[in-house]
Amino acid sequence: MPRLITRLPADDRTNGWSALLPQRTPRPPLEGEHTFDWVIVGSGYAGIAAARRLAELRPDDAIALLDSGAVGENASGRNSGFAIDLPHVPGDSAASMEQGRRATRVNRFVMADLEQQIAAHGIDCGWERRGRYHAAVTEGVAASALDTYAANLDAWGEPYEMLARDALSARLGTRYYHSAVYTPGTCLMNPAALVRGLADSLPSQVARFEHSAVIEIETNGAAPYVRTERGRIRYGKLILAVNPFAQSFGVFRSRQIPMLLFASLTQPLTPAQQAKLGADPSWGITPAHGVAGSTLRLTPDKRLLIRQGFEYSPSLRTNDERRRAARAQHAQLLAGRFGHLGELTIEHFWMGWLGISHNHAPAFGEVGRNVYAAACCNGSGIVRHTAAGRLIAEHALGVQSELAEDFLIEGTASYIPPRPLRDIGVRWSLMRERASGRQEV
Ligand SMILES: Cc1cc2nc3c(=O)[nH]c(=O)nc-3n(C[C@H](O)[C@H](O)[C@H](O)COP(=O)(O)OP(=O)(O)OC[C@H]3O[C@@H](n4cnc5c(N)ncnc54)[C@H](O)[C@@H]3O)c2cc1C
């Protein structure tokens, strides 16, 4: 029986990162009847990485890459633009430390590969190794989260600096934070420019179709297919790289928790405002309290970015009232940190969805006959979903690698009970986390 895909992405045109870029003409939608060896659904980091890897390993195969929207308008182009090399692990047991080491190996492999793609194809995304400040607002969270993180870094032999309020203020230009751990390996970029560049530099062997939402799939029978409004492809193998929309395809429904995030970019700061900032020409802050805290950046063109709001979103939809409240909160939080700069005007405000798992492991593997899927980035999708895309392509070809073993070191996403039990559990646990981090916002 074919399956109808009724819950489609509803990305709007608000993404601030792509608004800063030149206009791009999307690839035409799929039309008519086709046959491809491979169909990949989803043109974010995961789908693009899968397409590139398949093209490398199977240069004679025909590959189609479809997306419901335009490249760069998805979560891959709407995130905060941190490609992070070092993971956070739950504790300091030998097993956790080994998981962390192996996750770092994967992350660094992917970052080197992305750097190579950026250089080879001249992708102008402002990619810069600026490191990141992992910051706590209160002494309590500094003592719990930052000290544990520093102990992990010591055990891994990773370089870092522990910076208290005065030192941080001298670099960032705000006295808001109690302290931070600075690690040098994170790269910052305009994510929409990166994902556009990666997609547009795929080899011609990959046929790309934008504004081509898959609205029906048939995975059984002699001639499996995916259908869009104006076309249909019969495929040999199918890869789903659709992030939380996997649930629309009936995949990972009991493994993945869809989350909604909001972000804002201000207008460029005036020279007078810039003069009141610290010594770092651009920087990125991630919150020590992962659920309650805010991500911030000073971009190379001197805008402030804030990402705040991390809420359960089983419907994969939001409304204007919620958007207005999130935007107002962003303005208030920026003023709390940078009130001494005077008026800050938010120029762009947007939202995006991602998937997390209960055990922080990826949802990954064969999900049907000749159907493969990768989801659940757990908030680090630039690097982790680039890895997931590459590895799901290898998995579909039966290729084994140390990279895959490292990627799956924590296993795969664990089972979560169905709704409405899930709704109660997730909402309760988010409420508890928010309460514990209410001063970290
Ligand atoms: C506000 C925000 C901030 C974030 N910050 C960071 C950060 O700083 N660093 C980091 O590493 N990660 C961050 N993330 C997470 C990261 O953006 C995602 O994990 C990552 O982009 C996921 O990549 P993906 O390719 O799996 O999914 P996506 O980029 O979501 O791509 C999936 C694609 O599937 C398509 N699709 C879905 N259904 C269909 C269908 N039926 N037919 C056709 N196409 C379909 C969608 O249109 C979409 O383009 C952030 C996310 C958000 C929302």
Q: Which atom of ligand 1 is nearest to the CA of 353?
A: 53
Q: What pLDDT score does 13 carry?
A: 85
- Ligand 1 midpoint to CA 76 (Å): 4
- Ligand 1 midpoint to CA 431 (Å): 25
Q: Is 390 in the pocket of ligand 1 (CB under 6 A)?
A: no
Which residue in this structure is represented by tokens 């504004």? 211
Q: Is 286 in the pocket of ligand 1 (CB under 6 A)?
A: no
- Ligand 1 midpoint to CA 10 (Å): 12
Q: What pLDDT score does 285 carry?
A: 98
Q: Is 76 in the pocket of ligand 1 (CB under 6 A)?
A: yes
- Ligand 1 midpoint to CA 157 (Å): 32
Q: What pLDDT score does 102 carry?
A: 96
Provide the 3-class DSSP secondary structure of residue 139: helix
Q: What pLDDT score does 221 carry?
A: 87
Q: Is 67 in the pocket of ligand 1 (CB under 6 A)?
A: yes
Q: Is 209 in the pocket of ligand 1 (CB under 6 A)?
A: no
Tokens coding 255 = 């493994």
Q: Is 377 in the pocket of ligand 1 (CB under 6 A)?
A: yes
Residue in 52, 82, 210, 385 to alter for ligand 1 test, most ligand atoms within 8 A of Cβ: 385
Residue in 8, 68, 133 to alter for ligand 1 test, most ligand atoms within 8 A of Cβ: 68
- Ligand 1 midpoint to CA 366 (Å): 20
Q: Is 245 in the pocket of ligand 1 (CB under 6 A)?
A: yes
CB 271, CB 390: distance < 8 Å:
no
Per-residue pLDDT of the chain (441 residues; tens, 9 = 90+): 899 999 999 878 899 999 999 999 999 999 999 999 999 999 999 999 999 999 999 999 999 999 999 999 999 999 999 999 999 887 788 999 999 999 999 999 999 999 999 999 999 999 999 999 999 999 999 999 999 999 999 999 999 999 999 999 999 999 999 999 999 999 999 999 999 999 999 999 999 999 999 999 999 989 999 999 999 999 999 999 999 999 999 999 999 999 999 999 999 999 999 999 999 999 999 999 989 999 999 999 999 999 999 999 999 999 999 999 999 999 999 999 999 999 999 999 999 999 999 999 999 999 999 999 999 978 789 999 999 999 999 999 999 999 999 999 999 999 999 999 999 999 999 999 999 999 999
The CA distance from 26 to 212, in Å, is 11
CB 368, CB 348: distance < 8 Å:
no
> pTM value?
0.97
The CA distance from 393 to 2, in Å, is 24
Q: Is 391 in the pocket of ligand 1 (CB under 6 A)?
A: no
- Ligand 1 midpoint to CA 377 (Å): 9
Give me the count of residues in the chain: 441
* List of domains in the chain: 3-78+193-256+358-418 (3.50.50.60)
The CA distance from 163 to 135, in Å, is 9
Give, in order, the Cα–Cα distances in Å from 368 to each of 48, 54, 396.
Answer: 21, 19, 11
- Ligand 1 midpoint to CA 354 (Å): 6
Provide the 3-class DSSP secondary structure of residue 161: strand
Q: Is 227 in the pocket of ligand 1 (CB under 6 A)?
A: no
Q: Is 54 in the pocket of ligand 1 (CB under 6 A)?
A: no
Residue 316 zone, left/alpha/beta (φ > 0; ψ -120 to 50; rest): left
- Ligand 1 midpoint to CA 79 (Å): 8
Q: Which atom of ligand 1 is nearest to the CA of 378?
A: 19
Pairing of strands 187-188, 82-83: antiparallel
Q: What pLDDT score does 22 carry?
A: 96
- Ligand 1 midpoint to CA 272 (Å): 36
Tokens coding 47 = 């789908």
Q: Is 240 in the pocket of ligand 1 (CB under 6 A)?
A: no
The CA distance from 264 to 283, in Å, is 16
- Ligand 1 midpoint to CA 24 (Å): 19
Q: Is 87 in the pocket of ligand 1 (CB under 6 A)?
A: no
Q: Is 385 in the pocket of ligand 1 (CB under 6 A)?
A: yes
Q: Is 99 in the pocket of ligand 1 (CB under 6 A)?
A: no
Q: What pLDDT score does 88 carry?
A: 86
Q: Taking the CB of residue 272, how many other CB atoms lie within 10 A of it? A: 9
Q: Is 374 in the pocket of ligand 1 (CB under 6 A)?
A: no
Residue in 76, 232, 257, 283 to alter for ligand 1 test, most ligand atoms within 8 A of Cβ: 76
